[in-house]
């Protein structure tokens, strides 16, 4: 009996170490996903504000970038920003966000697309010679002009998709998510007709920088003519900086 008890010495310590590691990992995961949930909530509102800014500014990308930076900059604190008034610190955060915008955020215009048949040379949108009219929509023809096209009323619905990559700051969990999402492995049980979405270059860039890409969409009725401004369907996919 003495020999048996001697062999079992340290068993409780080993079990404690295993249980402690799993418990800490679970707690760290809860904290990290709580931070990501908060970031997603802020992103939803920021996307709405960006769409609102685009609706009154010809869907100009710079107007939407500034509106997005104003809301998301609170999630991007910068070092050595403790001097000055609270307004000065907020401005510094927004300027820092704009400077790094292409590394951590992207705005894609889902509607209207560049292939829309209603683009015309109205020449009344700043920075763009091509636009979609916005006046007298109630009296315009509401039928589409052909298969796969949209009416002018639907073309004046600005829909944007915003991709933002907040920081993952919790140790262990951030590294685990980063390495897991960067793995290139085939679908072990593919479903016929379904395609597993591939990680884009922009998303890979985010993961490598310990960031987690998330997407929010917003729809707003245009209050000005829609400028073309070079939006494309591949936005937020092939961006790398």
Residue-wise pLDDT tens digits, 161-188: 999 999 999 988 888 888 888 886 666 6
Per cent of the chain over pLDDT 90 is 36
Distance CA 160, CA 236 (A): 11
**Taking the CA of residue 137 as centre, how many other CA atoms within 13 Å lie in the half-sphere pointing to its CB?**
15
CB atoms within 10 A of CB 190: 10
**Chain segment 136-162, per-residue pLDDT in tens:** 888 777 776 555 578 888 889 999 999
Q: Are 47 and 216 in contact (CB under 8 A)?
A: yes
* Element (DSSP H or E) covering residue 4: helix 2-7
Q: DSSP string covering 143-165, please?
A: S-SSTT---HHHHTEEEEEEEE-
From the centroid of its chain, how far is CA 175? 20
What is the chain's pLDDT, residue by residue, as a tens digit (241 residues)? 455 555 556 666 777 777 778 888 899 999 999 999 999 999 999 999 999 999 999 999 999 999 999 899 888 877 766 667 777 877 788 888 888 888 899 999 999 988 888 888 876 788 888 888 888 888 777 776 555 578 888 889 999 999 999 999 998 888 888 888 888 666 666 677 666 667 888 888 999 999 999 999 999 999 999 998 888 777 887 666 5
Residue 95's alpha-carbon distances to 65, 73, 77, 98, 222, in angstroms, are 11, 9, 11, 5, 27
pTM over 0.95: no
């Amino acid at each position: 009996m003495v020999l048996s008890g001697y062999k079992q010495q340290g068993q409780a310590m080993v079990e404690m170490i295993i249980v402690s590691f799993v418990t800490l990992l679970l707690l760290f995961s809860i904290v990290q996903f709580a931070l990501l949930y908060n970031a997603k909530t802020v992103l939803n509102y920021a996307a709405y504000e960006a769409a609102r800014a685009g609706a009154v500014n010809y869907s100009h990308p710079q107007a939407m970038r500034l509106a997005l930076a104003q809301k998301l900059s609170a999630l991007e604190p910068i070092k050595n920003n403790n001097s000055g008034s609270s307004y000065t610190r907020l401005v510094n955060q927004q300027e820092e966000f704009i400077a790094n915008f292409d590394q951590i955020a992207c705005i894609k215009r889902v509607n209207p697309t560049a292939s829309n048949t209603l683009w015309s040379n109205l020449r009344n949108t700043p920075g763009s010679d091509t636009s979609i009219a916005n006046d007298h929509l109630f009296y315009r023809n509401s039928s589409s002009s052909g298969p796969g096209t949209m009416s002018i009323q639907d073309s004046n619905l600005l829909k944007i998709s915003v991709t933002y990559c907040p920081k993952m700051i919790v140790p262990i969990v951030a590294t685990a998510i980063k390495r897991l999402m960067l793995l290139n492995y085939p679908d072990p049980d593919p479903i016929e007709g379904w395609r597993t979405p591939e990680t884009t270059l922009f998303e890979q860039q985010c993961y490598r920088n310990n960031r987690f890409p998330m997407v929010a969409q917003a729809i707003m009725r245009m209050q000005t003519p829609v400028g073309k401004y070079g939006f494309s369907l591949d936005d937020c996919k092939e961006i790398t900086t």
